[in-house]
Amino acid sequence: MKKLAFTISFILILGIQFGFSNESLSQFQKATAAYDSSNYSDAIWLYNNLLQEDIILSDLHYNLGNAYFKLNDVPRAILNYEKAIKNDPNNEDAAYNLSLANAKTVDKIEGIPDLFLYRWWKAVFNLFAADTWAKITVSLLFIAVVFFALYFFSAMLGMKKLGFYLGVIFIALGFVSWFLAAQQNSYLNTQQYAIIIEPTVNIKSSPSAGSSKLFVLHEGTKVKIENQTNDWLEVSIPNGNKGWIEAELLEGI
Amino acid sequence: MRRLILTFTLLLFVASSFAGSINFTAKCSHKTVEVGQQFRVTYSVNASGGNFTPPSFEGFNSYGSGQSSNKQIVNGKRTIMNSISYILVATKTGNLKIEPAVFEYEGESYKSNPLKVEVVGADENSANAQRNRQNNRKGAAKELEDYIFIQPVVDKRSAYVGESITVTFKLYYQLNFGQLSPDKMPDYSGFWSKDISPTNRQDLPIERINGEQYQVVIVQKMLLTPQRAGDLEIGSMELNTVVQVKTQAGRNMFDRMRGYGVQNKEVRLVSKPIKITAKALPNKGKPTNFSGAVGQFNMSFKPNKTEVKSNEAIDFVVKISGNGNLPLIAAPKLNFPSDFEKYDPETKNNFKTNAGGSQGSKSFTYLAIPRHSGTFEIEPYTFNYFDPISKSYKEIGHEPIVIQVEKGADEENVVFTPRNKEEVELIGTDIRYLHINGVSLNSSKDRFYQSTLFYLLILLGLGSIGILFFLSRKLKEKSADTVGLKKSKANKLAKKRMAKAKKHLDANETAAFYEEISAALFGYYSDKFNISLAELSQEKIVELIDNKEIGNELKLVLDEAEMARFAPSAGGSPSDLYQKAISVISKTEGIA
């Protein structure tokens, strides 16, 4: 019992983040004030400043997305909501606002969903952010340490057995959680999807300006990045159509 | 007979006040004719009224006559020219003379100049001879065709497909004619045709055919454009009309007595079909998207504005001007960006179609509405046409048109993709508010995963498992050592206590040995429990030891030692007893 309480408090201690700089905080508050007074461009500028200081945060992207949404810049609102969700899969508000923003886009593409196994796998590692998975990893490891101590020092055979098995299980779970953290991290750091920023773009058959047009997409549409050359990206849309687009016309999530 | 003539001329020659000298002349269309060839003798006088007497035309056959009257006002003076002509055919060769005709006017008698005609033998091959033979075969009823006939005239016999041809049906006449009633209009199959006949009757200058003068009037003028390559035919036109024929009926006395008469004759005028060779446009250099335009053109393509807001209409005007088959030019197909809502073009014609083809311009106005903002480039439209003069294809392009579409205020409301129900429901709501509480503004450098702290904690966890393992091993080892030490200590003590007994055992002093075993054990327990020997008994010791096993063992040892003291032969060997005694002491030490 005492051991369990110790573990929980250990997780809580890890969960408490380190303090953040006052300057960032004041910028954040200024941005909120600007948003409240409908001064959305200023809010956008401030949020972008914060993001440039390597503060990559779901909430910050979410707020930035809101500011863009208020300015009716739908593609950038979608981009930031998507980033918010990517950074924190549990950001429900971002998901909700994203659905609103998506309702304003032009292209309606009926898509084939991912393979269910991949969907499940994604749902699993997206359950928590990489940092949370890392914390879970450490916590599980320390619980395992406690069970191993029980195994090592208990004079009673039953307790010894229990300690051994639970210790092995928890250390294994710790490594699984570490793997999930790595998955989440690589998922965050690779841009698999992109949002079309320009109002109307032509998707070409090959990465050159003169090639023939395949189809037209509009701002706010999410495309999957399949391939990349210098200034061109090969993208696919959920219905399976593929084509090349100039990289500057869209922005990766 | 003369009176009849007089009456006739008086009827025809409108009386008018006329002053001036009378000029009465005779003209012959040919100076030399073949036998059988028709020619014409015309008598003209610049006066109205009067009495005209033709000569006898000896040596000639006369085929009726025609009259015409020509009034002119020159410098305020009114002049009139009445003429009467006779179609004559020579019947014999030689230099023949036509006697002067007589014209009596206001009491005066005028004579025309005499005419001389040289009549030669017929040339079998000449066109006139053939024609005459033909006429002769057709018989007298057909002879009228020489006085009045329709001749289609085309400006060219061969043209490219799409190139314009003008055909003019001219009516040549020397006889007065009545109402023209068309019986069969020409067949223009294979042509695109447009009637460009003058609205009013248009008299053309008098033409001479085979030396004879004809008055000419346009019956119909058509602009024809061949629609396919190959030999095309402009069909024949058939007209019915009535002509007035002055008859010099017969050559016998009675006929002469009756003199000349005027007779209305129905005539059927049939034009000859004309073959037109329509040449296919050359394949060499033919654009794949050839517009079908043939002629000389210019093209302009302009939007009425290049900067608009979304959902604002733009007019794109394609104007094709020039000379050619403008009516046949179809609206060009323009490729607008797919985000433009486009409508069918409105066509405005501003050209005139006349003999040279159609001249002017044709403009197509395309209404297009950009539905989304952005920069759009209208794909260049190239107008191509065939120039029949240079016999080559020509293209007119234009600069690319860039349309800048700003975001209109109502852009989102007019997206025409139908939204599904769920989305419609969402539109009425607003986005959720900012996240302001519990936001931690950590630099991404402070991220936990892959941070040093993270790896340290992992190491710490795994390390502490190792350390715990190591510690538990050590502890076990240590505890095992203490037992051994205690055991050896107790053994040592027991051996010390039993040192005397051992001495007796070695000296084989059995009685002393047994005595010493008991004494040593009692001495040991006396020391152990701090009880004086006097108070110590076997029962007391067993009670104090509080261990059944050791107690029983002790009892056995003490009993055996007592028994052996008094009956040395009884019991086991003394050395066994010694070992047992030592074991008891050791065990006692072990538990306490």
DSSP string, chain A: -HHHHHHHHHHHHHHSPPP--HHHHHHHHHHHHHHHTT-HHHHHHHHHHHHHTT---HHHHHHHHHHHHHTT-HHHHHHHHHHHHHH-TT-HHHHHHHHHHHHT-S-----PPPPHHHHHHHHHHTSS-HHHHHHHHHHHHHHHHHHHHHHHH-SSHHHHHHHHHHHHHHHHHHHHHHHHHHHHHHHHHS--EEEE-SSEEEEESSSSTTSPEEEEEETT-EEEEEEE-SSEEEEE-TTS-EEEEEGGGEEE-
On whether both B113 and B157 belong to a single domain, the answer is no
CA separation for the pair A36, B392 (Å, rounded): 71
In chain A, the residue whose alpha carbon lies closest to the alpha carbon of B421 is A103
Q: Which domain holds residue A74?
A: 2-103
Chain A residues whose beta carbon lies within 8 Å of the beta carbon of residue B434: 32, 35, 62-63, 66
On whether both B174 and B226 belong to a single domain, the answer is yes
Q: Is A134 in Cβ contact with B449 (below 8 Å)?
A: yes
CA dihedral (A232, A237, A240, A244) in degrees, to 10, reads -10
On whether both B144 and B166 belong to a single domain, the answer is yes
Chain A residues whose beta carbon lies within 8 Å of the beta carbon of residue B444: 54-56
Structure tokens at A37: 């007074």
Chain B residues whose beta carbon lies within 8 Å of the beta carbon of residue A86: none
Report which of B110, B107, B174, B101 is spatially closest to residue B143, judged by C-alpha positions: B174
Whether the CB of A200 is below 8 Å from some CB of chain B: the reply is yes
On whether both B146 and B270 belong to a single domain, the answer is yes
Q: Is A148 in Cβ contact with B373 (below 8 Å)?
A: no
CA separation for the pair B566, B85 (Å, rounded): 205
Whether the CB of B99 is below 8 Å from some CB of chain A: the reply is no
Read off the CATH number of the domain in which B9 is found. 2.60.40.10
On whether both B149 and B84 belong to a single domain, the answer is no
What's the burial of B43, exposed, middle or buried (CB within 10 Å: 0-12/13-18/19+)?
buried
On whether both B327 and B388 belong to a single domain, the answer is yes
A182 — alpha (psi -120 to 50), left (phi > 0) or beta? alpha
Question: pLDDT per residue over A144-180, tens digit each?
Answer: 999 998 888 887 888 888 999 999 999 999 999 999 9
Whether the CB of A173 is below 8 Å from some CB of chain B: the reply is no
Q: Which of B278, B300, B320 is the last residue of a domain?
A: B278
CA separation for the pair B304, B318 (Å, rounded): 11
Whether the CB of B412 is below 8 Å from some CB of chain A: the reply is yes
Q: Is B435 in Cβ contact with A106 (below 8 Å)?
A: no
Chain B residues whose beta carbon lies within 8 Å of the beta carbon of residue A153: 468, 472, 475
- HEC sequence for B71-99: EEEECCEEEEEEEEEEEEEECCCEEEEEC
Residue A243 has pLDDT above 70, yes or no: yes
CA separation for the pair A223, A238 (Å, rounded): 8
On whether both A174 and A208 belong to a single domain, the answer is no
Read off the CATH number of the domain in which A63 is found. 1.25.40.10
Q: Is A62 in Cβ contact with B472 (below 8 Å)?
A: no
Structure tokens at A45: 């500028």
Residue-by-residue pLDDT tens, chain B, 592 positions: 555 554 444 444 443 434 457 788 888 877 777 777 777 888 888 877 777 888 877 778 777 677 777 777 767 777 778 888 888 877 777 888 888 888 888 778 888 888 888 887 755 444 444 454 444 444 444 467 777 888 888 888 888 888 888 888 888 888 778 788 887 888 888 888 888 888 777 777 787 777 778 888 888 888 888 888 888 888 888 888 888 776 654 455 555 555 456 677 788 888 888 888 888 888 877 887 787 788 888 888 888 888 888 888 888 888 888 888 888 888 888 778 877 888 888 888 888 877 777 888 888 888 888 888 888 888 778 888 888 888 888 888 887 888 888 887 655 544 444 444 444 444 456 778 888 777 766 665 567 888 888 899 999 988 998 898 888 888 888 777 776 676 677 677 777 777 877 888 788 777 788 888 888 888 888 877 777 878 878 788 878 777 778 888 888 888 887 787 777 665 567 788 888 888 888 777 766 5
User: How many angstroms separate the first and last alpha carbons of chain A?
Assistant: 45
Q: Say if residues B592 and B488 touch (Cβ distance below 8 Å).
A: no
Q: Which of B128, B157, B186 is the last residue of a domain?
A: B128
Whether the CB of A174 is below 8 Å from some CB of chain B: the reply is yes
Q: Is A200 in Cβ contact with B337 (below 8 Å)?
A: yes
In chain A, the residue whose alpha carbon lies closest to the alpha carbon of B429 is A100
Whether the CB of A145 is below 8 Å from some CB of chain B: the reply is yes
Domain-located, residue B449 = no
Q: Is A97 in Cβ contact with B432 (below 8 Å)?
A: yes
Q: So what's the pLDDT on residue B270?
A: 85
How many CB pairs below 8 A link A and B?
A: 135
CA separation for the pair A150, A153 (Å, rounded): 5
Domain-located, residue A212 = yes
On whether both A40 and A79 belong to a single domain, the answer is yes
Q: Which of B74, B94, B128 is the last residue of a domain?
A: B128
CA separation for the pair B509, B365 (Å, rounded): 147
Q: Report the DSSP pairing between strands B102-105 and A250-252.
A: unpaired
Q: Is A18 in Cβ contact with B442 (below 8 Å)?
A: yes
User: How many angstroms separate the first and last alpha carbons of chain B?
Assistant: 192
Whether the CB of B238 is below 8 Å from some CB of chain A: the reply is no
On whether both A207 and A172 belong to a single domain, the answer is no
On whether both B98 and B191 belong to a single domain, the answer is no
Give, for B461, the enclosing helix (H) or strand (E): helix B452-497
CB within 8 Å of chain A, chain B residues 469-488: 469, 471-472, 475
Domain-located, residue B77 = yes
On whether both A6 and A71 belong to a single domain, the answer is yes
Structure tokens at A1: 């019992």
Q: Per the structure, how many domains does chain A have?
A: 3
Q: Per the structure, how many domains does chain B have?
A: 4
CA separation for the pair A215, B339 (Å, rounded): 11
Total count of residues recorded for chain A: 253
Question: 3-state DSSP call for residue B161?
Answer: coil
Chain A residues whose beta carbon lies within 8 Å of the beta carbon of residue B440: 17, 20, 57
Q: Say if residues B171 and B219 touch (Cβ distance below 8 Å).
A: yes
Q: Who among B339, B442, B475 is closest to A55 (CB)?
A: B442
Domain-located, residue B68 = yes
Whether the CB of B257 is below 8 Å from some CB of chain A: the reply is no
CB within 8 Å of chain A, chain B residues 353-392: 372-374, 376
CB within 8 Å of chain B, chain A residues 29-88: 32, 35, 50, 53-57, 59-60, 62-63, 66, 69-70
Whether the CB of A125 is below 8 Å from some CB of chain B: the reply is no
CA separation for the pair B498, B520 (Å, rounded): 6
Question: pLDDT per residue over A85-129, tens digit each?
Answer: 887 777 888 988 988 888 888 877 665 666 788 878 888 887 887
On whether both B293 and B274 belong to a single domain, the answer is no
Chain B residues whose beta carbon lies within 8 Å of the beta carbon of residue A100: 426-427, 429-431
On whether both B405 and B360 belong to a single domain, the answer is yes
Chain B nearest C-alpha distance from A117 (Å): 26
Whether the CB of A250 is below 8 Å from some CB of chain B: the reply is no
Q: So what's the pLDDT on residue B253?
A: 53
Q: Which domain holds residue B65?
A: 2-128
The ipTM is 0.70
Whether the CB of A13 is below 8 Å from some CB of chain B: the reply is no
Q: Is B448 in Cβ contact with A131 (below 8 Å)?
A: yes
Q: So what's the pLDDT on residue A165?
A: 93
Query: Within a 13 Å sphere around the CA of B110, how many CA atoms are in the beta-carbon half?
Result: 20
Q: Which of A39, A59, A68, A88 to mutate to test the interface with B (most CBs of B within 10 A)?
A: A59
On whether both A242 and A154 belong to a single domain, the answer is no
CB within 8 Å of chain A, chain B residues 441-470: 441-450, 454, 457-458, 461-462, 464-465, 468-469
Domain-located, residue A99 = yes
> How much is the mean pLDDT over chain A?
83
CA separation for the pair A143, B461 (Å, rounded): 9
Q: What is the DSSP letter of B569?
A: T
Q: To which residue do tokens 């349309």 refer?
A: B403
Domain-located, residue B553 = yes
Higher pLDDT residue, A112 or A189?
A: A189
Domain-located, residue B148 = yes
Q: Is A218 in Cβ contact with B372 (below 8 Å)?
A: yes
On whether both B153 and B123 belong to a single domain, the answer is no
Average pLDDT for A16-22: 50
Chain B nearest C-alpha distance from A177 (Å): 11
CA separation for the pair B352, B196 (Å, rounded): 10
On whether both B161 and B191 belong to a single domain, the answer is yes
The proportion of chain A whose per-residue pLDDT surpasses 90, expressed as a percent, equals 19
Measure the CA angle with vertex B513, ends B508 and B515; round to 5°: 150
Which ranges of B80-159 would DSSP assign to H, the alpha helix? 127-138
On whether both B294 and B271 belong to a single domain, the answer is no
Q: Report the DSSP pairing between strands B60-74 and B51-53.
A: unpaired
Q: Is A199 in Cβ contact with B441 (below 8 Å)?
A: no
On whether both A74 and A42 belong to a single domain, the answer is yes
Domain-located, residue B469 = no
Q: Is A131 in Cβ contact with B447 (below 8 Å)?
A: yes
Chain B residues whose beta carbon lies within 8 Å of the beta carbon of residue A178: 458
